[in-house]
Amino acid sequence: MSRPALARLCPRTARAGGAAVASVCSAHPLVLEAALRLARERGEEVLVEATCNQVNQEGGYTGMTPALFRRSVEDLAAQVGLERDALVLGGDHLGPNPWRHLPAEEALVRAERLVEAYARAGFAKLHLDTSMACGGDPPALPEEVAAARTARLAAVAEGAAPAPDRVAYVVGTEVPTPGGMRETHAGPVPTAPEAAIATIERHRVAFGAAGLDPAFGRVVALVVQPGVEFGNDEVVAYDGAGGRALAPVLQRFPLLAFEAHSTDYQSGRALASLVEDGFAILKVGPELTFALREALYALDAVAAALLGTPEPETLRGVVERVMLRRPEHWRGYCGGAPEEQRVLRHFGYSDRIRYYWPDPEIAAAVARLLSALEGRRIPAPLARQYLGGILEEGSPGAASPRDLLVAAVQRVLRRYREACRQGPG
């Protein structure tokens, strides 16, 4: 790219092509295919970000390192006909989060290796997140400590990146819980403008003390809490007050924008309001795999009706079996009685199923489902029962099962695209 990645997408530096960008935070191949195909159709760029839990130097829950993830996404882009320079790759929540149970120094050394792997693989946008307490830390990590740790990771990135002057950074310590909140509450407290200004200044000082003034000049966005969040069965909608209150921050720092996390399930109007209020990067992830799961379960119901598949052999039956056998990704998020847990495992907004799609048994069940329906005529009444929403983008006679899955994901992405291009008014 001719300038540091995403700098032109910040509304303070340029507005060509739109006021903001959606960040596709997913490693699922079908989600990525949907995003890449939509970008190709529209002649636009696409920002894809992998998280520290999905992809890291130890493989993450997808089994992929940053270099392997990059190669896989570039291969997908080539398959759908998207030019390589239209693909921007980023790393999300890069820091000690996967190892926060370890002593702080050990966790930070692992975080350094994580950032090194992303930078060496040529990722253009790095969200450095050291906001979490590690072993031996106080429960509430002082922001000065978090800023110093962020600068420490930035130094590693600068030394490892093939072209460090083309790496863009995102910082900030008021980071929503990755994957959504764990329990219902009154809603998140929006970041106060004075807190955001203090965060920027602390990072400026920390980067300067580490001799990283040029790197700080490539910090394009600050993560703040605008007042959006989601849990298993609720979505806290953006009301605009939090974002509008932060306007003085952007006036004081005209080259920065805000990055909004956990924008999943927000309405198109709410997303457009976020853009108008200075949020130039809107992150979406669980909603994309939630939409994919809705479509997969719809096809699963169609196949069961057509073929008389016994419940244990359906995709949903296989998923339930695997999730019960390996509860580590949902147990802390799905409380209540066993019946409530079962519903939240499969249908909660936090979409804990996304951790299980790479499982070989589940992947094989998905492949069997798509194979069983490929080329098979779906009676119109049955399609209407289970596929009505998805078929707005196709028809039983014209769309393959795979195309229907892609269409389901693209319905979400189109909402983001419209909000990012236009904003309200």
Q: Where are the domains of the chain?
A: 7-287, 290-410
**Cα–Cα distance, 334 to 181 (Å, whole number):** 11
Nearest in space to 413 (alpha carbons), one of 11, 89, 81, 44: 44
pLDDT value at residue 12: 44
Q: In the numeric block, which tokens belong to residue 26?
A: 């997913």
Q: What tokens were used for 7?
A: 């700098």
DSSP H or E segment with residue 178: none
Buried b (16+ CB within 10 A) or exposed e, 247-276: eebbeebeebbbbbbbbbbbeeebbbbbbb
Indicate the burial class of 320 (C-beta count within 10 angstroms; 0-12, 13-18, 19 or more): middle
Q: DSSP 3-state assignment of 425?
A: coil
How many whole angstroms separate alpha carbon 189 and alpha carbon 183?
A: 15
CATH code of the domain made up of 7-287 = 3.20.20.70
CA–CA distance, 152 with 342 (Å, rounded to integer):
42
Beta bridge partners of 92: 51
Residue written as token pair 């995709």 = 315
Q: At what angle do helices 286-307 and 380-387 cross, to 10 degrees?
A: 150
Task: For the chain, 425 residues long, give each residue's pLDDT as a single digit of tens.
Answer: 333 444 455 544 333 345 799 999 999 999 999 999 999 999 999 999 999 999 999 999 999 999 999 999 999 999 999 999 999 999 999 999 999 999 999 999 999 999 999 999 999 999 999 999 999 999 999 999 999 999 999 999 999 999 999 999 999 977 765 555 555 556 799 999 999 999 999 999 999 999 999 999 999 999 999 999 999 999 999 999 999 999 999 999 998 999 999 999 999 999 999 999 999 999 999 999 999 999 999 999 999 999 999 999 999 999 999 999 999 999 988 989 999 999 999 999 999 999 999 999 999 999 999 999 998 888 888 888 998 877 654 444 446 899 999 999 999 999 999 999 865 44
- Residues 319, 254 contacting (CB under 8 angstroms): no
Write down the pLDDT at residue 15. Answer: 37
Contact indicator for 76, 34 with CB cutoff of 8 Å: no
Count of CB atoms within 10 A of residue 53's CB? 18
CATH top-level class of 290-410: mainly alpha
Strands 235-236 and 229-230: antiparallel
Q: Which residues of 165-195 are buried (b: 16+ CB within 10 A; e: fewer)?
A: ebbbbbbbbbbbebbbbeeeeeebebbbbeb
**Dihedral sign (CA 340, 343, 346, 351):** negative
In the chain, the amino acid numbered 145 is V
Closest C-alpha among 46, 143, 129 to residue 89: 46
Burial class (CB in 10 A: 0-12, 13-18, 19+), 305: middle
80: number of Cβ within 10 Å: 17
- Residues 135, 58, 91, CA angle at the centre, nearest 5°? 85
Buried b (16+ CB within 10 A) or exposed e, 64-73: bbbbebbebb
| pLDDT of res. 149 | 98
